Amino acid sequence: MASYVFDPPAQVSAPIEGEDARFPVRRILCVGRNYAAHRREMGGDDRDPPFFFAKPADALVAPGADVAYPQATANLHHEIELIVAIGKGGADVAVDQALDMIFGYAVGVDLTRRDLQAAAREKMQPWEAAKGFDQSAPMSPVRRWAGSPPQGRIAISVNGQVKQEAVVADMIWNVPEIVSEASKLWRLAPGDLIFTGTPEGVGPLVRGDAVTGEVEGVGKLAFRVV
- CATH code: domain of residue 79: 3.90.850.10
| Residue 148 covered by a domain | yes
| Residue 3 covered by a domain | no
Give me the number of domains the chain comprises. 1
- Dihedral angle of Cα 67, 69, 70, 75, to the nearest 10 degrees: 130
Burial 28-61 (b: 16+ CB within 10 A, else e): bbbbbbbbbebbeeeeeeeeeebebbbbbbebbb
What is the rounded average pLDDT of the residues 178-194?
A: 98
- Dihedral angle of Cα 56, 58, 60, 66, to the nearest 10 degrees: -130
| Residue 10 covered by a domain | no
> Residue 117 and residue 126: Cα distance in Å, rounded?
8
- pLDDT of 2 reads 85
Q: Which residue has the higher pLDDT, 37 or 50?
A: 50
pTM: 0.95
User: What's the chain's length in residues?
Assistant: 226
> Residue 213 and residue 149: Cα distance in Å, rounded?
18
SS3 content of the chain, % helix, strand, coil (to 5): 20, 35, 45
| Residue 12 covered by a domain | no
User: Residue 43: what are its φ and ψ, rounded to 5°?
Assistant: 100, 25
Does the pLDDT at position 49 exceed 80? no
List 223's β-bridge partners, or say none: 211
> Residue 158 and residue 136: Cα distance in Å, rounded?
17
| Residue 32 covered by a domain | yes
| Residue 6 covered by a domain | no
Residue 99's identity, in one-letter code, is L
- pLDDT of 33 reads 86
pLDDT tens readout for residues 69-120: 999 999 999 999 999 999 999 999 999 999 999 999 999 999 999 999 999 9
Residue 44 pLDDT level (bands cut at 50, 70, 90):
low
- pLDDT of 91 reads 98
**First vs last Cα of the chain: how many Å apart?**
41
Tell how strand 210-215 and strand 153-158 pair up.
Answer: antiparallel
> Residue 111 and residue 79: Cα distance in Å, rounded?
6
User: Domain range spanning residue 33?
Assistant: 22-224
Residue 45 pLDDT level (bands cut at 50, 70, 90):
low
Nearest to 221 by CA among 105, 52, 76, 103: 105
pLDDT tens readout for residues 11-30: 999 999 999 999 999 999 99
Residue 42 pLDDT level (bands cut at 50, 70, 90):
low
| Residue 101 covered by a domain | yes
